[in-house]
Structure 1
């Protein structure tokens, strides 16, 4: 069945693997929900202390591309350049034909073994591990996009046709999922790397289905990229000219890239553009053993800049201490998520 044929209500319970990603139009069963979604475990944020929960785990294994640049230039890699490197590297994995890549990497590994090339074997084995890990994390488990988990985090907002601002938008996935759940509004995506607009968002598959709501009937409806009203702006967040005009201000994987000295400023970026009574939606990668393993093995893909892994308690305390009222918090497969308002 072609993706373009997914329209009828019965298709809202389908899942299917493509060569590059999984589509997943299912809802969680009660058993799956209890396994993959944990919500509202902190009863009183005012009683939580850093002494109790400790500080986030800092990832210190970096991409070879970053290390080589710093060696050649005898200086620290500039932040903007680090994000350019990351975006190009990360996108190259999203567009892979994964089964074909697995077959290719296996053949290369066997070829190096036959030639008794120890350095080649070591390099090829690393390539085999990375493509298998990517296949499991993104394509089999769908942990990066995680549509079922993201819908669980995003549901329950009191908005109609919201204006959504996505800070550090990359390919824009989460804003499109939000707009499918709360249809009829508009999305402003912001990233200061032009590659994100011209390649990551532009090449996001037109056929990818987002499960959302039909605002006329209240039933499920499937949306695709062309159904969303998107304006993509290439700009530094600090230079944006918008006022407090957005119903939802969203960031995904942003807070963890800033040491403590800058986290208050990051929270302020969200508050600055929010309407009175609007929602701040933020996610960060979870501090768990398999995430630490993932960022070690995939360091050449992922680790071009400062990065932390947080527990939901750590993430929430940063937001609480910087003036946000946490309405909903929890974690899904590989991400923490928080819905908040300004106190």
Structure 2
């Protein structure tokens, strides 16, 4: 871990590095502008949301394979609470963000070879599973950069009519998307809210200080590279339901939040986005896309990912929830592995 941090914290990128991409041991630095096929794809599938029905859209795909640790916990303690589910998920997921992936992949393949030579089936099965998970994570997060997806996220966030916005990030985790928004629309404030303290201390706390966010220089209007420690960020460890804000934010953001609520609770999650928004403010939401490679990812990575209720949606399904929740949808479409919606309350 210390070696990884030393490598990843020894570099600072500048505007002169625009256009480069570089693989570090646990993530990709990508300072390229989006190609046409890597931008937010404004699907435009629905011109009038009031005419779309659930019969046409169909229901989301529910991910039902649970993590081994969740199953073991529930055998001993009964049903895992929602808060405990998130705590298990955050710790498990964070371990993968800080891995030296090439090194661990090499070690995993070496161990698999040793187990094969001894013909111990249980060891072979375990080592093979770890090798497959590492290979998939390496492809999804480092090679494709599908989790953070900076070019796609910038394309999703572009064109907002805001100046020095106050940004509220609901269920913030490591806070990536709010930091990208701040870089693009600098000078305001980010408030991150998550009820798991581990997100503040580790997921956000250990997010690399040298990760570059491409954004804007407010003095010149030209490109500027921003870093986490240059941003005005407050991280609140709090249940969203207990936040003591009024309608005071220009942007309310959530990433991968809506799909964790069954239908009978989605209206509550959508109300949180409206509750804290200034008149004329923007709501931005993403959810994981319903596609074959997403189903494969959540199957192979089940022990890391599947501690909570989770759905995969297509953009029509996501949009219909948002529309029925009382929002006017300004843009809807998708990026690499996420649906994206920009909306305002009706």
TM-score, reference length from structure 1: 0.97
1:6 paired with 2:3, answer no
Q: Is 2:38–2:152's contact at 8 Å kept on the other side of the alignment?
A: no
Q: Partner residue of 2:180?
A: 177
Please state whether the residue corresponding to 1:166 is helix, strand or coil: strand
Distance of 1:260 and 1:277 partners within structure 2: 27
1:40-80 CA-partner distances (Å, limit 9, x unpaired):
3321111111000100000000100000000112x111111
Q: Is 2:38–2:335's contact at 8 Å kept on the other side of the alignment?
A: no
1:118-150 CA-partner distances (Å, limit 9, x unpaired):
011111110000000000000000000000000
Q: Is 1:179–1:185's contact at 8 Å kept on the other side of the alignment?
A: yes
TM-score, reference length from structure 2: 0.96
Could you tell me which of 110, 119, 128 is aligned with 1:107? 110
Could you tell me which of 46, 68, 71 is aligned with 2:75? 71
Could you tell me which of 264, 274, 288 is aligned with 1:261? 264
Distance of 2:105 and 2:46 partners within structure 1: 42
* TM-fit CA distance, 1:31: 4.8
1:215-272 CA-partner distances (Å, limit 9, x unpaired):
1211111000011100000000001101100000000000000000000000001100
Q: Is 2:42–2:331's contact at 8 Å kept on the other side of the alignment?
A: no
Please state whether the residue corresponding to 2:70 is helix, strand or coil: helix
1:55 paired with 2:59, answer yes
In the alignment, structure 1 segments of 5+ residues that lack a partner are none
State the aligned residue count: 339
1:36-55 aligned at under 5 Å gives the runs 37-55=41-59
1:1-343 aligned at under 5 Å gives the runs 4-8=11-15, 10-33=16-39, 37-73=41-77, 75-343=78-346
Distance 1:31 1:301, change over 3 A: closer
1:63-105 CA-partner distances (Å, limit 9, x unpaired):
00000000112x1111111100000000000000000010111
Query: RMSD of the alignment, in Å?
Result: 1.3
Runs of 4+ with >6 A deviation: none
Distance of 2:183 and 2:168 partners within structure 1: 15
Distance of 1:162 and 1:126 partners within structure 2: 45
In the alignment, structure 2 segments of 5+ residues that lack a partner are 1-6
Distance of 2:316 and 2:12 partners within structure 1: 42
* TM-fit CA distance, 1:32: 4.2
Distance of 2:218 and 2:43 partners within structure 1: 26
Distance of 1:303 and 1:124 partners within structure 2: 20
Q: Is 2:38–2:336's contact at 8 Å kept on the other side of the alignment?
A: no
* TM-fit CA distance, 1:29: 2.4
Distance of 1:29 and 1:121 partners within structure 2: 42
Please state whether the residue corresponding to 1:241 is helix, strand or coil: coil
